[in-house]
Structure 1
Amino acid sequence: MIATRGRAANKLDSSDNEERSLMGAKKQKLQRFLSAHSNCYFCGGAATTIDHVPSRECFIGRVGPEGYEFPACKRCNNSAGPAEQTVALYRHCTDFAEDIRGRPQVEKLLSGLRNNSPTRVPITEVSANQKRQLARRSNIALQTGDTYAGLPIVGITPDVHHDFKVFSRRLTCALFYRHAGKILPATHMIKTQWIQFAHGRAEKIVADITADMPHLTQTGRVNTNIGQQFSYRWYLDAETETFLFAAQFAMAFFIFGLTARFALETSGEGWESHQSDYPEPFR
């Protein structure tokens, strides 16, 4: 008995040492990262955390691409959580090509929204007439033997659109930081939009928007196949600090973002200054 208990105690000590070693390595990695990137990519304040943009929840098994970690203050990092949860749910449940590996995430995200943000939960009670109208507006054609009532269409609330807007504007700031090498000025104007992959005109719309975007970034991870889950085309005019992109999230949806200095062209409908994104105390 004494010998057995001793071996058990040694195993526990070994486990504790390994855990402390991992925690120490993680802390050192954070310190090295923040030494090289000391300011929040979003508001410009002192960075104390790492923000993953897009959120890791948007990827199967929460395994996202390398190189999309950004320095962030705790306030800006935490403020993104609710919107990231909403977008991640729709990322997984609207990708009809995704295999069963994403189901546990969908269930977890759906449970979280039901408990914390019920107004973000998909509306399943959609009439056949409503589905018909949406299908026609979106150029979604019925396949042989299908009916409008049987189309996998759910309703979404204004709160969902709001969360996509928040998510898209943060993505705009992150990609600007990555490719311009600087924090987006608070006075810059931002305009974003998103469209579901299943939209009948999605390919045409994306082709038109990306016609003048020369750069294609297909993200990935060393020694890990994460598939075609996140890619984007982009363009940057370094002189005017104008940046635009079109990002594809698997076969779920596209997000478009455009940011530029304040001008007559950027003062119309849909444009808002980046400063409006800041948490209240920073505005």
Structure 2
Amino acid sequence: MLVGKLNTHAESGTDMGQVQQAKKRRRERRNDLLNKYPFCYFCGGLNPATTIDHVPPEACFPKAYYPEEFEFPACFSCNQGARKHDQIFALYSILSDFDDQKFGNGPDRVRLDGLINAVKRNYPSAMPDFDAAKGIHRSGHIYTSQPVAYSAKTTPEMQEAAKFMEGKLTHALYLREVGKIMTPAHRFVAGIYQPQLDHTGALTEYFQNLLPNVTIGARPNIKAYGDRFRYMSGYKDAEDFFVFAAQFGRGCIIWGIVCGPGMRDPNIGPAGSMKPKAGGCGPDRTP
């Protein structure tokens, strides 16, 4: 894992009228969502949806910075069962973000400090060893006197949280783009990487050339919202075939490939050597 620098400042502002309007729209979206999708998106539609899950997790963003219209119908068990992984992954995604302006922003600093304290308190073994982190003094072909980033070893708990988020985000974005819930009859593969690492350029280029649609997360009530979450996607209706690549800020990228019932297992591009999983793999698959 590469950790970015935290040394600049950016400002943002909100209008209270816009905030109230955003809250009203959010309530209306939640009611509409549960009416439209009465079953859980993450356990394959096996259980009734009684709560709203936020994907990407709210913990990945400062308070009230969560991008709008990324809410999904979930059963209580799938929603609550993801809390540990949501918190650990949020810390990973923020630490690996290379947006210097964002990390100088007050709300971002508060969120990062809060996550560090929460993970230390709740899941201390998930914390990376910052004391053992190594400075990286190279940006492209240029060597620098001061580190441009730090390399820290990811813990098993952080790797587990990242794997969990791969499946969670794949299920969520499939529903958002396709309008259907992934079932156990679907097959998918997913992965995560940092584009700042060597030998990842070809993978990023692969998704850029393959995926035609770009969606950028936003909150209209926040000025200078910044680059926080976006994804590219593509879907073939006839085959029920879905591909996406989502980036958290300027840091880690999660990608996924979904094949509908009756299709061959995904074996293109980065999925060629990976074992596919069945859809509906949330924490609670029992009706």
Question: What TM-score comes out, normalization by structure 1 length?
Answer: 0.78
Q: How far is the alpha carbon of 1:264 from its aligned partner?
A: 5.0
Name which of 258, 277, 285 aligns with 1:272. Answer: 277
Query: 1:9-158 to 2 correspondence within 5 Å?
Result: 30-43=30-43, 44=45, 45-96=47-98, 97=100, 98=102, 99-101=104-106, 102-126=108-132, 143-146=143-146, 151-158=149-156
Q: Mean alpha-carbon deviation: is it higher for 263-272 or for 231-240?
A: 263-272
Where does residue 12 of structure 1 map in the other structure? none
Q: Would the aligned equivalents of 2:188 and 2:266 in 1 still touch at CA under 8 Å?
A: no
3-state DSSP class of the match of 1:170?
helix
Deviations 1:175-196 (A, max 9, x none): 1001111101212122111112
Q: Would the aligned equivalents of 1:141 and 1:200 in 2 still touch at CA under 8 Å?
A: no
Where does residue 18 of structure 1 map in the other structure? none
3-state DSSP class of the match of 2:63?
helix
- Does the alignment pair 1:249 with 2:248? yes
In 1, the alpha carbon distance for the partners of 2:248 and 2:229 equals: 5
**Tell me, which stretches of 5 or more residues in structure 2 are unaligned?**
1-22
Query: 1:138-217 to 2 correspondence within 5 Å?
Result: 143-146=143-146, 151-217=149-215
**Tell me, which stretches of 5 or more residues in structure 1 are unaligned?**
1-22
Q: Mean alpha-carbon deviation: is it higher for 42-51 or for 200-209?
A: 200-209
By percentage of residues, which structure has more helix?
Answer: 1
Say which structure, 1 or 2, has more relative contact order (CA 8 Å, 6+ apart): 2
Aligned residues: 252
Question: What TM-score comes out, normalization by structure 2 length?
Answer: 0.77
Q: How far is the alpha carbon of 1:31 from its aligned partner?
A: 4.2
Name the amino acid aligned to 1:208: Y
> Which protein is bigger by CA-based radius of gyration?
1
Q: CA RMSD in A?
A: 3.0
In 1, the alpha carbon distance for the partners of 2:131 and 2:199 equals: 25
3-state DSSP class of the match of 1:198?
coil
Q: Mean alpha-carbon deviation: is it higher for 245-254 or for 257-266?
A: 257-266
3-state DSSP class of the match of 2:192?
strand
Fraction of identical pairs, as percent: 27
In 2, the alpha carbon distance for the partners of 1:237 and 1:26 equals: 30
3-state DSSP class of the match of 1:152?
strand
Where does residue 16 of structure 2 map in the other structure? none
Q: Would the aligned equivalents of 1:140 and 1:200 in 2 still touch at CA under 8 Å?
A: no
